[in-house]
A and B are shown apart, each in its own frame.
Chain A
Amino acid sequence: MSSSVCLNENITLSKRSSVVTVIIQKIFTIRIIAIGTALFTAIPMLVIAASFLHPEPAIWDHLMDTILWEMVSNTVILSTGVLALTALTGVGSAWLTSVCDFPGRPFFSWALLLPLAIPTYVFAFVFIGLLDFSGPVQTFARDTLLLGKYRFPEIRSAWGIILVMSLALYPYVYLLARNAFRTQGTRVLEVASVMGYGHKKTFLNIALPMARPWIVSGLMLVLMETLADFGAVSIFNYDTLSTGIYKCWFGFFSLSAAAQLSSVLLIVVCLTVFAEQRMRARIRYHQVGRISMETTRIQLTGWAKWSASLGLGIIFTIGFLVPFLRLCSWGITSLQEELSAKYIGLLTRSILFAVSAAVVVTLLGLTLAYVNRRYKDPLTSVLVRLSTMGYALPGTVLAVGIVIMITAADRQLTEIINYIPGIQLNSIVQGTIITVIFAYTVRFMTLGFNTIHSAMQRLTSSMDDAARIQGVTGFRLLGIIHMPVLRTGLLTAAILVFVDVMKEMPITLMTRPFGWDTLAVKIFELTSEGEWERAALPSLCLVIAGMIPLKLLTRKSD
């Protein structure tokens, strides 16, 4: 690694060394790790894409006769509904907290992010538990208010899942829109008021169009999460493409049907990512100011003031307070019977998976960040982009791609090894912990890399020069300058990956070694049997773990 650190050690290639030597030296640097990471991220996607290019008519006929159209229309309805609702709540609450002033604004500013700590599937079963026929809300309406003659709307329906997913996902839009309004909102407001615009006109004609790249970018993240969601939709028995992939594999035992379905989802996701990337580019172009200080806020008065507080209060209450308290009360009642040695095992395995993935992602992310810092050529930027594509892949798609890839590799490997007399193997990698860690690494590399990469911006190249001129190079430079400066970034990356792996459901479900249940898997099993109360305790663990990255996030933005 020292060769990457000291910018000048490699430059002393004399002109006489042959072209071949130069090429070999160029490849056999730490870049080889980047090449490996990029390949291992790209292959699962290529496997899925390839299955789209080689459609199997028999499978498609069967899918079309049975569940395909329902899955596609459900996915479209769900995505449209969630996008509309998150846009409305996210943008509205962002405008209120970043530009206006009203009672409780500082509290709501961070409290509205709290739903991010709750996985969508936890939201899903909490709300089903609350609003189901036998749940406390309907029971209260029937028995106490004597409203038994009216039909309560069915919670396990399109509107129910849309509502639940929107509550879980609106913070993405809120976060980005808030960032947009904070960087340009107040200045724009001043300009608009000088030109005689009212607040409403300012918002609709100026602030909203200006914030569009941020808002669309947030909505694309919401769309990615919606398409990728597995847990919440399966709890609602609402079949989308994502659950369809799982059912094809584990219901019909057809991995190739799962791959065919995955390719459809992959195309939709690619389009989403493309849109998101374009918006990111425009954000860079639009970013004009820094976060402005608390100067001119619109002072809401009278009914507007209180309705702002009330509206955000309702979002906060049903988006965080109610589910959190419900989990706590369920958790307390089930504590006695549930807290057994079995849970220690679940927790240990969750932590084992999460720690291994965090370590692997952090180390690879660090290497990748160094490669990115050291080499400025087009090949490197392609490698880095390839390596960090996994975040957009729905867990179900990724799992299918990886299992197909590993099965194929395994077959080759075992054939070779079985030539050795006395050895008879069926598989080497497949069904081991390596598969699941590999899948996590592909999925969460973006998170790790981006965090470390932004921490590395603090290490300027002149800092290396300053150390070098005073005789500190190589591993000493790493030890006394680089690592201390990067330490917080590395730790943050590891924590973020750790928490995301803890919450991860479909990849774990589809690639884990036999019998290796984690907290998330347990929640899936309990909720598919309708055991909401017993699922509360593991969920509470995940929610509390999920608060850690939020803490890091708010600290960074303040």
Chain B
Amino acid sequence: MKNILEINAISKEYNGDCVVSNLSFTLEKGKIGCLLGESGCGKTTVLRCIAGFEQLQAGTISIAGNVVSTPRKSLAPENRKVGMVFQDYALFPHLTVEGNIAFGLGHLYGKEKNRRIRKMLDLVGLGPDSGKFPHELSGGQQQRVALARALAPEPELLLMDEPFSNLDVMLRERLSMEVGLIIRELGISALLVTHNQHEGFAMADKIGIMHKGALEQWDTAYNLYHKPGTRYVAGFIGEGVMIQGLVTGKNKVQTGLGTLTGEICGHWPAGAKGHILIRPEDIIHDDNSPCQVKIARKHFRGAHILYTLHTRDREEILALVSSHHDHQLGQSIGIRPELDEIILFN
């Protein structure tokens, strides 16, 4: 079986409000997927539908080739062979770390059970703390216990609902890398739900951008950044601006920054007007360039400075420039746009 998860045109509504509409994607076995979106976009509902906590109004969900959810029938969550890590961790406060991990191992006894618990404790690096209660652990440790508890019954698919949102920023990045490694080490598949794109980039092979209950694009991180399918995705992932342009010929677009040359994605005949996505790193600082722009704002970022620039046509663009080029506000500098691919939107 190639795909661990197949979501086919699912819809879900609460009291007439459409929370998820006609959403489809597939996740290959052994891969990590991520649903990314602002809060309230319906991503957690999708996850709860996959887990079996919510019923569908339309569509089907298959896990490892078996249809588990249709609007008419729904396999109970415990029979879906999925594990889940909850946003608030949902650790059982009266059980120790070991007790929490052993919770889903009711079918095992003696040596095998102990071996499995040991393995999980080692995997998440909590061996010395196995006798502690959840309230005695730090946030990061609690998160690991939640992960270990979900992984202990060896699920085929691990679901994670905003697993790092309760942690501070430094810990969040480190832990998302670590968790990604652990999942790959076990060779299982996982689906992550988050509003933080850095977590998605750190862990996932495939990322879906959700907006108002619909999936805008299901793609790799590279494509989401460099070949966004919709204006929403272009605005949601990374930084950048839209400037107006006129297609003048094959791979040529006339803009306020001069004529851009690069492969135009999609079908855009000559004479068509559109908006071009310009990322900050597409703008090269070049004093000899005829295109002069004025510095409106600057934001020091260590290795680079992010300049906000105004063109003569009062269009705003962003440029990421090495921080050795430290210019003053109001000063004019020369720039040269350099795009391999030109992304055009209506």
Q: Which residues of A contact B (CB under 8 A)?
A: 7-8, 11-12, 14, 458, 460, 462-463, 465-473, 481, 484-485
A-B contact count (CB 8 A): 58
Contact yes or no, B78 A469, CB < 8 A? yes
CB contacts (< 8 Å) of A462 on chain B: these are 86-88, 90
> Known contacts A8-B53, A469-B51: does B86 contact A458 (CB below 8 Å)?
no
Contact yes or no, B103 A470, CB < 8 A? yes
Contact yes or no, A469 B106, CB < 8 A? no
Contact yes or no, A470 B78, CB < 8 A? yes
Interface presence of B37 (CB below 8 A): no
Contact yes or no, A471 B106, CB < 8 A? yes
Contact yes or no, B55 A465, CB < 8 A? no
Contact yes or no, B103 A465, CB < 8 A? no
Contact yes or no, B84 A465, CB < 8 A? yes
Interface presence of B92 (CB below 8 A): yes
CB distance from A483 to the nearest CB of B (A): 10
CB distance from B189 to the nearest CB of A (A): 16
Query: In the bound complex, how far is the Cα of B153 from the Cα of A465, in angstroms?
Result: 16
Query: In the bound complex, how far is the Cα of B104 from the Cα of A8, in angstroms?
Result: 20
Query: In the bound complex, how far is the Cα of B90 from the Cα of A251, in angstroms?
Result: 60
Contact yes or no, A469 B55, CB < 8 A? no
Query: In the bound complex, how far is the Cα of B90 from the Cα of A290, in angstroms?
Result: 23
Interface presence of B110 (CB below 8 A): no
Contact yes or no, A11 B55, CB < 8 A? yes
Contact yes or no, A463 B104, CB < 8 A? no
Contact yes or no, B104 A471, CB < 8 A? yes
CB contacts (< 8 Å) of B52 on chain A: these are 469
Interface presence of B94 (CB below 8 A): yes
> Known contacts A12-B55, A12-B74: does B84 contact A469 (CB below 8 Å)?
yes
CB contacts (< 8 Å) of B106 on chain A: these are 470-472
B85-101 interface with A by 8 A CB criterion:
86-88, 90, 92-94
CB contacts (< 8 Å) of B104 on chain A: these are 470-471
CB distance from A86 to the nearest CB of B (A): 37
10 smallest A-B Cβ distances: which pairs?
Answer: A470-B104, A471-B78, A462-B90, A462-B86, A466-B90, A484-B94, A463-B90, A469-B77, A469-B84, A468-B77
Query: In the bound complex, how far is the Cα of B53 from the Cα of A7, in angstroms?
Result: 8
| Dominant secondary structure of chain B at its interface with chain A | loop
Contact yes or no, A460 B88, CB < 8 A? yes
CB distance from A491 to the nearest CB of B (A): 14
CB contacts (< 8 Å) of A458 on chain B: these are 93
CB contacts (< 8 Å) of A14 on chain B: these are 72
B202-250 interface with A by 8 A CB criterion:
none
29 inter-chain pairs at a CB distance below 8 angstroms, sorted by A residue, are: A7-B53, A11-B55, A12-B55, A14-B72, A458-B93, A460-B90, A462-B87, A462-B88, A462-B90, A463-B90, A463-B92, A465-B51, A465-B53, A465-B77, A465-B84, A465-B86, A466-B90, A466-B92, A467-B103, A468-B53, A469-B51, A470-B78, A470-B83, A470-B106, A471-B104, A471-B106, A472-B78, A472-B103, A481-B92
Contact yes or no, B86 A485, CB < 8 A? no
Interface presence of B121 (CB below 8 A): no
Query: In the bound complex, how far is the Cα of B87 from the Cα of A485, in angstroms?
Result: 20
B49-99 interface with A by 8 A CB criterion:
51-53, 55, 72, 74, 77-78, 80, 82-84, 86-88, 90, 92-94
Closest to A471 in B: B78
Query: In the bound complex, how far is the Cα of B341 from the Cα of A500, in angstroms?
Result: 78
> Known contacts A469-B84, A470-B104, A470-B153: does B78 contact A485 (CB below 8 Å)?
no
> Known contacts A470-B104, A470-B153: does B84 contact A485 (CB below 8 Å)?
no
Closest to B86 in A: A462
CB contacts (< 8 Å) of A471 on chain B: these are 78, 104, 106
CB contacts (< 8 Å) of A11 on chain B: these are 55
CB contacts (< 8 Å) of B153 on chain A: these are 470
